[in-house]
Chains A and B, each alone.
Chain A
Amino acid sequence: MLGLGADRLRADMNRLLALLFHQGVLDEQFLQLQQLQDETSPNFVSEVVNIYFHESEKLLRNLRGLLMDREFSDYKKMGIHLNQFMGSSSSIGAKRVRNVCVAFRAASEQNNRAGCLRALELVEHEYCYLKNKLHELFQLEQQRVLAAGVRYPIQN
């Protein structure tokens, strides 16, 4: 029974992944991450993604702080944060997040504060969506592992 559960969970996971790919939330870079996961680094994907979440939240907070400041003028600093955020997002395969960052960068290069604010909101929105979905994915994964790990002793 539980075995079936594991299969079902895996199916759910795959379905979720397929959806995310279809929506463009993730791209093949994420697959690369998954491929790097093996016996030597069994939780690689979740580790990296958690690092990503942690860093990204810091960056997004910084960005918002900068833009909220009425006397904000340091676009260069914002560009640095943004650049790092873009780098890490693309590294884990967060395609939509990265794409809205591109728009953000364009607005920043034009010193367009209103545009930056709008872009920031978009980024935050995409980021939240990504985070939720990835959490969901990891939960499924965890359950699957648990489910697959359970074995009923074979009884004659």
Chain B
Amino acid sequence: MTVEPRVEDPNDQFPIGMRVLAVDDDPTCLRLLDTLLRRCQYHVTTTSQAITALKMLRENKNQFDLVISDVHMPDMDGFKLLELVGLEMDLPVIMLSANDDPKLVMKGITHGACDYLLKPVRIEQLKNIWQHVIRRRRFDPRDQNNSDSRDKWRQGPGEGGQGSTEPGNPDHGKLNKKRKDQNEDDDEENDENGHDNEDPSTQKKPRVVWSVELHRKFVAAVNQLGIDRAVPKKILDLMNVEKLTRENVASHLQKYRLYLKRISCVANQQANMVAALGSTDSTYLHSLNGLGNFYNLSGSGQLPNSTFRSFPPSGMLGRLNTPSGMGMHCLSSSEMVQLGHLQNSSNPINNGGKFQPVLLPGNQNGIILQGMPMSLELEQLQHNKGIIRVGELSTAIGDSTVFPASSGFPDTKMTSSRSSSSLLVAANSPLMLQGHSQENQRRGGLRNQNSATLLNTELPSSFPDHGRCNDNWSTAVQPSGIQSSSFPLSDCFKQATLHPSNLRDNISSVTLQSGTNLRDVSCVTSMPPPLPDSRTDLECQAMTISGNSVKIMNYSPKVWDDHKQKLSHHSSLGCSSTNSLIPAPGVMGTFDQGLDLKNTISDRNMDFNLMGESNFVNPLPMQQNAVEESASDTALQLKQGCTLGQRKPQSSYASNNVGSLEDLVSAMMKQVRLSSFIFKVFC
């Protein structure tokens, strides 16, 4: 058999000779596009009718590599064509339009466009469109997960290199997908950065998950070395963990440092808030203290362990018991710092990448208001469901189980943190929220719930009793101290509806307290004019915190109760509902909270949804970066947990959202004002 000489295979010279089908009803643009594409050395076919284009595509599925289509066409909507091409031929489609309305761009992306270009199209942009073909070919056989993991992976190692504080990966990925104009650029960047991704083995490289244990070790090592002298290599050696690379440690260290910085700011703020609050609500203070103690307990000297809560245990406890013993007041600067650390720590611990707050080496007053740790504790409280004595808190905290660490932390930790959690609960609402926010990756639902439970359990006396366990959040919310808003988890927010007045107070208190941790709080404060409705407040808070899920949460405490049963579910429910509910920017707009954040949130949510990655970042446009980060983390957590049933992020944003939305809506429809509203919008 003779081997026939291979006459130049057009594919070999790819992208030269790539077969493009251009569709545009405007002859001027079509002509221009035709010439531009030919200049890029593609093989161009043009038509001004979408119907003709479909016919051509259907005739021979292998006739084209890429389709470029205008959005507004007389015979067929560009999005429709996009969908059909995606479904039937599975070709990459690039949308083209003179209109740069983000809603349209979003629509394009959600309908599956791999890019959205604006007229006038420049040749530089067209020179890069072949990447979409490669990308699709490459990842098509594998499902979305690969791209997601690829993104994550890509971002993972990158974190070490970059000093970015934000939960880098999700943000990065999401942003990339979101920006229409920059899509190409971003894609290019990603491609460049992720050269290794080309290698299948590297693509699947798993990301290091910074579990609570791991983080604890890390913090222990850092503290042992001294934060100033801690270098990745030494930390790695001290930690003595298999399969951990220096790079992992380096990136984690970076995040940790940033977290510490954040904490110190937060701690200061919180201390101020506590001081302010302390005078008003002793219970609250108690809770604060309790929380602080909790943190302290965990922290007292056991930093490694309680990386999350470095609150000085002993001192706090004492404080907790005294109504006036507002730990906050006593917060010394060191404590403050620690608190801050704690807060942060809770987050990082949970998330794996987030930095765990520096354990307070022993601040006595470590008012942990920071909330981060609280949230952890709260979660735990939920589990515990017991009323945790204030005094106990400290002990409980000591176990540092409080951290809602990503891994099933709440369950285990709950017990330990019982006391603390109770305390936490009291003050937790704000704190918890903070914590939650910090915990980016924590299970969204869990945290919320935990906090809620914590709150509920804790404040039997001071807060209305809503049904403790399940309603932890709600009760938690209720307690004046509870800053429902601070709960990043939507669940918390739901609870918030419990006491309008409380909420309001909570919100304000939360705001005061939370400083950075409470993203929500700050959100609250920055939120638009006072919400008349506590629910609204909650909503707002929720919005800020978990971005939309919170709102939904608020409304259906019942639903939450059910959900609470399963911690993970809770969060997920809350999250998914919120997230899904808020997917569209339009939806956000429906909220009449007047939150400016709305859009941001929705955008974020959308991003999150779009990305479908667990690294959901920041749903709320928090004022403070720290908060934002935590919020995003939380949101991320939420999101992760949220997708009811862990739905994998789907390429179709809309469908993804709708699905979860539907679930949520059905559950909450009657009760949740928002959900029904959203539902309407959605439908």
The answer to whether B72 touches A84, judged by C-beta atoms less than 8 angstroms apart, is yes
A51, A88, A93 — which one has the most chain B CB atoms within 10 A of its CB? A88
Which residues 71-114 of A have a CB within 8 angstroms of B?
80, 83-84, 86-88, 90-93
Which residues 7-38 of B have a CB within 8 angstroms of A?
25-29, 31-32, 35-36
Chain B residues within an 8 Å CB radius of A48: 28, 31-32, 35
Q: How far is the CB of B72 from chain A (nearest CB, A)?
A: 6
A80 CA / B119 CA spacing, docked (Å) = 15
B29, B70, B72, B120 — which one has the most chain A CB atoms within 10 A of its CB? B120
Chain A residues within an 8 Å CB radius of B98: 83-84, 86-87, 90
Q: How far is the CB of A42 from chain B (nearest CB, A)?
A: 12
The answer to whether B32 touches A47, judged by C-beta atoms less than 8 angstroms apart, is no
Q: How far is the CB of A148 from chain B (nearest CB, A)?
A: 24
The answer to whether A36 touches B26, judged by C-beta atoms less than 8 angstroms apart, is no
Which residues 403-452 of B have a CB within 8 angstroms of A?
none
The answer to whether A51 touches B99, judged by C-beta atoms less than 8 angstroms apart, is no
A48 CA / B121 CA spacing, docked (Å) = 15
Chain B residues within an 8 Å CB radius of A52: 28
Q: How far is the CB of A53 from chain B (nearest CB, A)?
A: 9
Q: Which residue of A lies closest to B25 (CB)?
A: A84
The 7 closest A-B pairs by CB, nearest first: A87-B98, A88-B28, A52-B28, A91-B120, A87-B119, A90-B120, A86-B98
29 A-B interface contacts by CB (under 8 A): A29-B120, A29-B122, A32-B122, A33-B32, A36-B32, A36-B35, A36-B36, A36-B39, A41-B35, A44-B35, A48-B28, A51-B27, A51-B28, A55-B28, A80-B72, A83-B99, A84-B26, A86-B98, A86-B99, A87-B26, A87-B29, A87-B70, A87-B98, A90-B98, A90-B120, A91-B26, A91-B29, A91-B32, A93-B120
A80 CA / B36 CA spacing, docked (Å) = 25
A residues at B contact (CB < 8 Å): 29, 32-33, 36, 41, 44, 47-48, 51-52, 54-55, 80, 83-84, 86-88, 90-93
B123 an interface residue at 8 Å Cβ cutoff?
Answer: yes
Known A88-B28, A90-B119; 4 more pairs at CB < 8 Å: A32-B123, A84-B72, A91-B28, A92-B120
A91 CA / B120 CA spacing, docked (Å) = 4
Q: Mark B102-140, 1 if CB is under 8 A from A, else 0.
A: 000000000000000001111100000000000000000
Chain A residues within an 8 Å CB radius of B121: 91
Q: How far is the CB of A138 from chain B (nearest CB, A)?
A: 16
A91 CA / B121 CA spacing, docked (Å) = 7
Q: Which residue of B lies closest to A54 (CB)?
A: B27
B289 an interface residue at 8 Å Cβ cutoff?
Answer: no
A88 CA / B123 CA spacing, docked (Å) = 16
A29 CA / B39 CA spacing, docked (Å) = 16
The answer to whether B32 touches A92, judged by C-beta atoms less than 8 angstroms apart, is yes
A92 CA / B97 CA spacing, docked (Å) = 15
A33, A44, A83 — which one has the most chain B CB atoms within 10 A of its CB? A83
Q: How far is the CB of A77 from chain B (nearest CB, A)?
A: 11
Q: How far is the CB of B582 from chain A (nearest CB, A)?
A: 25
A51 CA / B31 CA spacing, docked (Å) = 9
The answer to whether B31 touches A87, judged by C-beta atoms less than 8 angstroms apart, is no
Q: How far is the CB of B120 from chain A (nearest CB, A)?
A: 5
Q: How far is the CB of A59 from chain B (nearest CB, A)?
A: 9
A44 CA / B36 CA spacing, docked (Å) = 11
Chain A residues within an 8 Å CB radius of B27: 51, 54-55
A77 CA / B28 CA spacing, docked (Å) = 20
Q: How far is the CB of A134 from chain B (nearest CB, A)?
A: 13
Chain A residues within an 8 Å CB radius of B122: 29, 32
Q: How far is the CB of B518 from chain A (nearest CB, A)?
A: 39
A33, A44, A91 — which one has the most chain B CB atoms within 10 A of its CB? A91
A100 CA / B438 CA spacing, docked (Å) = 48
The answer to whether B123 touches A91, judged by C-beta atoms less than 8 angstroms apart, is no
Q: How far is the CB of B89 from chain A (nearest CB, A)?
A: 26
Chain A residues within an 8 Å CB radius of B29: 87-88, 91
The answer to whether A88 touches B35, judged by C-beta atoms less than 8 angstroms apart, is no
A80 CA / B99 CA spacing, docked (Å) = 10
Chain A residues within an 8 Å CB radius of B25: 84
A57 CA / B99 CA spacing, docked (Å) = 21
A15 CA / B25 CA spacing, docked (Å) = 35
Q: Which residue of B lies closest to A27 (CB)?
A: B120
Chain A residues within an 8 Å CB radius of B70: 87
Chain A residues within an 8 Å CB radius of B35: 36, 41, 44, 48
Q: How far is the CB of B300 from chain A (nearest CB, A)?
A: 62
Q: How far is the CB of B46 from chain A (nearest CB, A)?
A: 13
A33, A44, A47, A87 — which one has the most chain B CB atoms within 10 A of its CB? A87
Chain A residues within an 8 Å CB radius of B36: 36
Chain B residues within an 8 Å CB radius of A47: 31
Q: Which residue of B lies closest to A53 (CB)?
A: B28
A108 CA / B252 CA spacing, docked (Å) = 53
Q: How far is the CB of A40 from chain B (nearest CB, A)?
A: 8
A84 CA / B26 CA spacing, docked (Å) = 7
Q: How far is the CB of B127 from chain A (nearest CB, A)?
A: 13
Chain A residues within an 8 Å CB radius of B99: 83, 86
Q: How far is the CB of B331 from chain A (nearest CB, A)?
A: 53
Q: Mark B587-623, 1 if CB is under 8 A from A, else 0.
A: 0000000000000000000000000000000000000
Q: Which residue of A lies closest to B119 (CB)?
A: A87
Chain B residues within an 8 Å CB radius of A87: 26, 29, 70, 97-98, 119
Which residues 345-389 of B have a CB within 8 angstroms of A?
none
A29 CA / B29 CA spacing, docked (Å) = 12
Chain A residues within an 8 Å CB radius of B97: 83, 87
A54 CA / B27 CA spacing, docked (Å) = 10
Chain B residues within an 8 Å CB radius of A29: 120, 122
Which residues 215-243 of B have a CB within 8 angstroms of A?
none
The answer to whether A91 touches B119, judged by C-beta atoms less than 8 angstroms apart, is yes
A47 CA / B28 CA spacing, docked (Å) = 9
